[in-house]
Each structure stands twice: as C-alpha cells, then as structure tokens.
C-alpha cells in the first residue's frame, strides 16, 4: 500500500493548496490513503466541523491532532464522536475521543496512532510508555502496518520515539514546529522524519502573519496570531510505500504555489 502524510495544515491557505492539488497528487503517485495533521486547520487554532468536511471531501482519510485539538472544543467533540478525527492518544483519561484508529487499505490493516510529546505541551501521559503498550496490543492483533504522528516540540523526543520503535512500526513523522527537517530516512523498515513542516503560508512565521510574532520577540508584548489574507503557500507531504508492515520506499513532496513542478526528496535508506 502507498500512504501519504501531510504536515500541520495552517488555516485557509493550507486548505486551499490541498484542495487545488491533492486529488491530482493521489492519482499521479498512486496513493491509497492520506493522513493529515489538522489541529491548526481552522484559522490556525483547532478544527471546525465545516473545515474537517472540506478536507475529507478533497481526499484526506483521517485527521490527526495535537496541543490545539481542543481549541474549538464543542466542534472537536462532535468530530471525535462522528468522523475519522484523532486527538493525541496519550491525553489523560476522561478526555473525549481517541488517538488510534485502524483502517482497511487494499485488503490490509493500517493503524494510525497520534501521540503528543511532554516538553512544552499540555498535561499528557508518558508517550513512550504509552506507545509501547499500544504497539504491543496492535502486534498481538497481527496489525503490522503502523503509522505514528508524533506531535512534539523537542526534536530529541522525536528521535527517542524513532529509536525505541525502529523496525517495529512502518512510519513515524513528527509535527508541531511547522518547520521542516531534512532527515527523511528508512531504517530497519521504519520511515522517519523529525518534522514534516507546515502546509500553509511559507513566507511568514510558522504560517502566521509576521507582525505579532515580531512584536512579541522584540517587546515581550503578544497578541492574537492571524493567518495572512494572501501569501505564498506550500504543501508538504511524505509518501511511503509499505509492504508487510515495512517501509520499502519513501519520498517527500514540496509543492509551492506559483511553481509548476514539485520538489521531490527521496528518503535515505540505511
């Protein structure tokens, strides 16, 4: 099977570039299933029912989350109860929803697990111990294709997750920082990328208008971050080919608005 993962979708610019290009990319690269992190899809903070449906209608199969999952709490609870929407699985007991779903893709089972790191994040259970237990249960069910969206601030936490489950899961991609890293690799059948980066405005600051972040950095006075009305946008997506639970090939697509050709980066295979 071929699965794809799209990085943090930030506001309308992110949704628009996906709407304009995803169906074409799925056909061109033979993609069977699309996962996307959508915790910033609705004006940069949270996810509404309307915007979730927009993303499902253009070809996304499941939406993962992170520390902003509950910014629009009432709508998020509705989505968690009725749609293929995940929040980090290691939120404390009693929080609505789940961070794990299993799907049938081309006659095979695919498990999608959403986890959140500890550093600079809301209260959550230890993601490494949590993942250990979840992956053990999935293996006992003979589910071999396992993908993890690890929503974390610290690159060191993401590397720990990779090294703990190298050879045990099909793919681990980091989200949250909105800044892409250049370490796409396959090792022992596990595809890994520290951070996929944002899908949205590429010419501002983590997808947001630059004015408030600059003011905060220079004066300490914050404000509400806004999505620019117009900007140069980017779509960032990793495509993984899985066979019997192992990643056999992977590449990253960077598609820039105003450019005719995508930038393709192949995974380093060790």
The answer for residues whose C-beta is within 8 angstroms of residue 136's C-beta and 6 or more apart is none
Neighbours of 109 (CB within 10 A): 16
Catalytic-residue membership of 43: no
> What is residue 133's three-state secondary structure?
helix
Strand partners, 145: 110
The alpha carbon torsion through 208, 9, 120, 228 (nearest 10 deg) reads 10
**Orientation angle between helical segments 49-57 and 73-82, nearest 10 degrees:** 40
Separation in Å, CA 155 to CA 30, 68, 146, 184, 265: 31, 19, 21, 14, 20
Question: Could you give the residue ranges of the DSSP H alpha helices within 141-241?
Answer: 155-165, 211-219
Please identify which of the residues 43, 68, 151, 176 carries the catalytic annotation: 68
Angle 270-255-102 from CA coordinates, rounded to 5°: 60
Distance CA 203, CA 220 (A): 23
Q: 82: helix, coil or strand?
A: helix
* Separation CA 78–CA 134 (nearest Å): 25
* Whole-angstrom distance, CA of residue 189 vs CA of residue 150: 18
Active site residues: 68
């Amino acid at each position: 099977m071929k699965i794809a993962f799209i990085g943090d979708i930030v506001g309308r610019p992110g949704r628009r570039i996906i709407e304009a290009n995803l169906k074409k990319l799925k056909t061109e690269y033979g993609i069977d299933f699309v996962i996307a992190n959508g915790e910033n899809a609705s004006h940069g903070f949270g996810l509404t029912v309307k915007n979730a449906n927009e993303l499902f209608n253009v070809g996304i199969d499941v939406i993962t989350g992170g520390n902003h999952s509950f910014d629009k709490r009432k709508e998020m609870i509705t989505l968690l109860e009725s749609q293929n929407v995940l929040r980090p699985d290691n939120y404390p007991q009693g929080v609505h929803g789940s961070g794990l779903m299993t799907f049938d893709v081309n006659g095979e089972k695919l498990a999608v697990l959403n986890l959140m790191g500890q550093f600079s994040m809301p209260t959550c259970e230890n993601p490494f111990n949590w993942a250990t237990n979840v992956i053990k249960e999935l293996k006992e069910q003979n589910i071999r294709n396992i993908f993890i969206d690890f929503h974390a601030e610290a690159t060191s936490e993401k590397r720990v997750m990779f090294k703990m489950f190298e050879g045990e899961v099909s793919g681990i991609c980091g989200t949250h920082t909105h800044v892409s890293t250049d370490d796409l690799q396959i090792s022992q059948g596990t595809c890994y990328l520290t951070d996929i980066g944002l899908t949205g405005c590429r010419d501002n600051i983590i997808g947001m208008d630059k004015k408030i972040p600059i003011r905060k950095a220079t004066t300490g006075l914050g404000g509400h971050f806004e999505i620019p009305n117009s900007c140069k946008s980017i779509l960032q997506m990793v495509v993984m080919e899985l066979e019997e639970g192992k990643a056999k090939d992977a590449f990253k697509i960077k598609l820039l608005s105003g450019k005719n050709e995508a930038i393709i980066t192949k995974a380093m295979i060790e």
